Amino acid sequence: MIWVSWRQRRSQAITGLGLLCALAVYGLVLGLQMRNSFDQNNLATCLAHSLGASCPNSVATFDNSFGSLVNIGFWGVLLLLPGLIGAAVGAPLLARELELGTWRLAWSQTVPRTRWLVIQLAVAAGGLTVLGAAMTLIITWYRAPMDRLTGHFIHNAYDYEGLVFTAYILFAFGLAVLAGQLLRRSIPALLAALVPWVAVRIVVEFVLRPHFMTPLKLTGGISQNCSNQVCGGNGIVNVPPTTGHIGDLVVSRPGNSPFLYQPASRFWEFQSIEAGIFVVLTLAALGTAVWLLHRRAS
């Protein structure tokens, strides 16, 4: 049964491998360029001594060379990629069987249909997890020089480094499997899965994420390197940061109250919380699909 599942997913696996190789080549070329520029501008020493305050020209040069490409262009291209990957694999898993009528053969063998679906889901989800983890490693490696100036909390980095990138893929996969069973058409199921996937991501990112943990209050005033201006939380144009620590994310400043911020050390806690939310939603979608198939009349 596992061999049959692999045969059915083989073309998708090859496509995923090709996507991974393309990302690896892109990341290798751009990553080496950024590392070379980072060393030439001696940014490591400057950041260690003054958080970038003593080398604004070097920071600006690095930003002008890579900021738009890495922080905006790359993020813009990959914004929907996790959803597309998960939906493209999940939508035809059940919808194709129902659309083509091959379920009559697939579900009439010695393997019960519920077990058939569970194995199909396990093979596909396992492959997507490996793909997502590999893509995360590549993105994290190539972005490393930029992250030293921005931290990991900006959206451009947060969504693609750590655990959430793979969780986004799996959530889209779960929604697509369920949509495929309900709609019985692969393409409509793919499109139908992307709509709630985007909606949930927006809610989590802009409504829930800021409240995962209680923000800290900045005491003792802003960083001396900022004088009396607001340098910002962690963006490259805001080096040095308000808090005096690159990677801290300034959430808000209510009135004349102290700044509220999330320390950079909470990155993995935030990643675990958000990834957990999407994994639970994925299990709920897949569990519903298994339950519906189990109750489906022959």
Dihedral of alpha carbons 80, 261, 210, 176, sign: positive
* In contact, 218 and 261? CB cutoff 8 Å: yes
Residue 248 within any structural domain of the chain = no
The residue range of the domain holding 51 is 2-213+269-295
**Structure tokens given for 249:** 């994310």
The per-residue pLDDT for range 255-294, each reduced to its tens digit, is 666 778 889 999 999 999 999 999 999 999 999 999 998 7
* Whole-number Å distance between alpha carbons of 126 and 116: 15
Domains held by the chain: number: 1
Burial 147-167 (b: 16+ CB within 10 A, else e): bbbbbbbbebbbbbbbbbbbb
Q: Give 3-state DSSP helix, strand, coil % of the chain, rounded to 5.
A: 75, 5, 25
Residue 16 within any structural domain of the chain = yes
**Structure tokens given for 127:** 């492959």
Residue 250 within any structural domain of the chain = no
Residue 20 within any structural domain of the chain = yes
* Whole-number Å distance between alpha carbons of 228 and 156: 28
Residue 218 within any structural domain of the chain = no
Q: Which residues pair with 250 in a beta bridge?
A: 261
Residue 255 within any structural domain of the chain = no
**Structure tokens given for 109:** 């063998």
The per-residue pLDDT for range 144-193, each reduced to its tens digit, is 999 998 889 888 889 999 999 999 999 999 999 999 999 999 999 999 99
The per-residue pLDDT for range 131-145, each reduced to its tens digit, is 999 999 999 999 999
Residue 156 within any structural domain of the chain = yes
Residue 179 within any structural domain of the chain = yes
Over residues 74-94, the mean pLDDT reads 91
